[in-house]
Amino acid sequence: MHEMSLAEGVLQLVEDTAQREGAQRVKLVVLEIGQLSSVEPEALRFCFEAVTHGGIAHGAALEIVAVPGSGWCMPCAATVPMTESFGACPQCGSYQVQPTGGTEMRVKEIEIE
């Protein structure tokens, strides 16, 4: 499960930020996760809870914002919505669609006190 290593990476960013800002506690972490990122949000939520146990982010709320997938279709030269990485273009049916959005995962916000 690669979500555990992702949760550990997020925790490292959160802890570094909290230390830099002199925080006593992390209250909220907001993540943006792309629909095409191959990250399972519920598995990541479970792993985040496990890796934060006993630390400065223990008990922090994790908010996950889904980012829709999008891609550029080579044959019809259109930007189209995508729900799967290797899906067909909804306009022309071609499979020559290059993902342009929704593949990312980023920490958008950290609330500390």
Does pTM surpass 0.95? Answer: no
| 27-77 pLDDT, tens digit each | 999 999 999 999 999 999 999 999 999 999 999 999 999 999 999 999 999
| φ, ψ at 32 (rounded to 5°) | -100, 125
CATH number at residue 43: 3.30.2320.80
Instruction: Give the domain range for residue 28.
Output: 3-112
pLDDT band at 111 (very low <50, low <70, confident <90, very high): very high
pLDDT band at 88 (very low <50, low <70, confident <90, very high): very high
Instruction: Assign 11 to helix, strand or coil.
Output: helix
Neighbour count for residue 48 (Cβ, 10 Å):
24
Tally of domains within the chain:
1
